[in-house]
Amino acid sequence: MIRPGKMILQVLSSIFKKPATTRYPFVKFELPDGVRGEIKFDPKNCIGCKLCMRDCPTGAITIKPAGEKKFEAEIDLGKCIYCGQCVDSCLKKALSVSKNFELAVLDDKKLKVTFDAKSQDAPEKKD
């Protein structure tokens, strides 16, 4: 049991210490390298081998053909556990992880993200 005198010293010493918490929503912080956030797909690099689909432990990735030598990916962020196994197994580096971790939504339909292979210049993201 803590004696009252010892407890008062502890309380008074904590008054002058810097707080351990941050004001997160108002003050953004820089995430360290290696943080696995949202999965990104680059259809220009995809060859349709579907290794990412086979290696995904939750089955969150679906690769579909979208034309001749073009593929699109559907990623269910609600199923994804952000382990990065799909990124590691992709031979052509069509998948990558970003530092975006703020993925909370109220509608679970918005968690299914489809990356189209329509344009050659840049992948389109539809929600």
d(CA 33, CA 87): 15
In the structure, what pLDDT confidence band is assigned to residue 121 with cuts at 50, 70 and 90? very low
Q: CA of 13: how far to CAs of 4, 8, 18, 19, 116, in Å?
A: 14, 9, 11, 12, 57
By DSSP bridging, strand 39-41 and strand 112-116 are unpaired
> pLDDT of 27-63, one tens digit each?
888 888 888 989 999 999 999 999 999 999 999 999 9
d(CA 127, CA 115): 9
Burial class (CB in 10 A: 0-12, 13-18, 19+), 95: buried
User: Considering the domain 36-126 in this protein, what is its CATH number?
Assistant: 3.30.70.3270
Amino acid at residue number 100 = N
| pTM for this model (two decimals) | 0.69
| pLDDT(86) > 70 | yes
Please identify which residue in the block is written with the tokens 């990558």.
96
